[in-house]
C-alpha cells in the first residue's frame, strides 16, 4: 500500500504542475491580447485610458511598442485636441512610469527613453528631459524611427538643449541624411519649419557634395515647393 501511495503522489504533483502551467498560459494569453482592446487614439476615452492602471505593457516587445507609441501620441495631441493641463500632466506621470519600467528592463530601448524625455518635459523636468533624450540617442544612434522622434523633440525645444544634447541632435540629423528616406524627411521639415533651418543647413553643409546635391534635389522635387 505504501508503495502504491508513493506511485500516486508524483501523479498528483505532475497534475498540479500541469494545472499551474495551464493557468499561467491562460493568464499570459489574456495579458498579451489585452493590448488589442486599447481604445483608438481618436476615441474620447483615450486620454483617460492613458492615465489609468489599464495602460500597461505585457511581456512581448510588440506590446511595449504599442504602449510607448500610445504614450507618445497622448503627450503630443493633435492641434485641435482639448489642451487640458491637468490631463497632460497625468498622462506624463503615468507614461514616464511605464517607460521607466521598460527602460529599466531593457536599457537599449531607445523609444522608452524618448517617451521618458517627453514626459519629463511636460512635467517641467528639464534635467530629466535632457538626460533621457541623450540616453535615447546613445543607445539607438542608428535607428531612424527613434531619431525622427528625437529630432522633433529637439527642434521644438532648441532653447533648452545643452551642448551635449545639441551635438546629439546634430548626430541624429546627420544619420538621417545618410539615407534617401531620411534625407527626404529632413527636406520636408526644412520646408515646413523655417525656424529649424539653421541646424539643418549646418549639418547638410558638412556632408559630401553628393549628399548636398541630394538634399537640394529633394527640396526641388518636394510637393510643397
**Residue pLDDT tens, the chain, 225 long:** 444 545 544 544 555 445 444 444 444 444 455 555 576 777 777 788 788 877 776 668 888 898 999 999 899 876 556 667 888 899 999 999 999 999 999 999 999 999 999 999 999 999 999 999 999 999 999 999 999 999 999 999 999 999 999 999 999 999 999 999 999 999 999 999 898 899 999 999 999 999 999 999 999 988 765
pLDDT at 83: 66
Distance CA 176, CA 47 (A): 32
Neighbours of 158 (CB within 10 A): 14
User: What pLDDT sits at residue 3?
Assistant: 47
Block residue for cell numbers 503522489 = 9
pLDDT of 14 = 54
pTM: 0.80
> Which pLDDT score, from 0 to 100, does residue 202 have?
94
CA-to-CA distance for 114 and 172, rounded, in angstroms?
A: 13
* 68: nearest Cα among 6, 128, 118: 118
Structural domains of the chain in order of their starting residue, each with its CATH number: 40-158 (1.25.40), 177-225 (no CATH)
Amino acid at each position: 500500500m505504501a508503495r502504491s501511495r508513493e506511485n500516486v503522489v508524483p501523479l498528483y504533483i505532475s497534475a498540479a504542475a500541469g494545472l499551474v502551467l495551464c493557468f499561467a498560459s491562460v493568464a499570459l494569453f489574456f495579458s498579451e491580447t489585452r493590448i488589442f482592446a486599447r481604445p483608438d487614439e481618436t476615441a474620447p476615452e483615450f486620454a483617460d485610458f492613458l492615465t489609468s492602471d489599464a495602460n500597461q505593457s505585457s511581456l512581448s516587445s510588440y506590446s511595449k511598442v504599442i504602449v510607448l507609441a500610445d504614450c507618445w501620441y497622448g503627450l503630443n495631441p493633435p492641434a485641435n485636441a482639448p489642451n487640458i493641463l491637468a490631463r497632460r500632466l497625468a498622462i506624463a506621470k503615468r507614461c514616464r512610469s511605464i517607460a521607466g519600467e521598460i527602460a529599466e528592463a531593457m536599457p537599449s530601448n531607445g523609444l522608452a527613453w524618448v517617451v521618458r524625455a517627453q514626459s519629463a518635459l511636460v512635467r517641467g523636468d528639464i534635467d530629466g528631459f535632457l538626460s533621457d533624450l541623450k540616453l535615447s540617442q546613445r543607445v539607438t544612434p542608428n535607428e531612424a524611427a527613434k531619431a525622427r522622434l528625437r529630432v522633433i523633440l529637439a527642434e521644438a525645444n532648441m532653447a533648452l538643449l545643452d551642448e551635449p544634447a545639441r551635438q546629439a541632435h546634430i548626430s541624429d540629423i546627420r544619420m538621417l541624411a545618410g539615407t534617401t528616406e531620411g534625407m527626404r524627411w529632413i527636406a520636408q521639415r526644412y520646408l515646413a519649419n523655417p525656424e529649424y533651418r539653421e541646424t539643418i543647413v549646418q549639418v547638410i553643409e558638412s556632408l559630401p557634395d553628393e549628399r548636398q546635391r541630394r538634399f537640394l534635389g529633394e527640396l526641388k522635387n518636394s510637393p510643397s515647393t
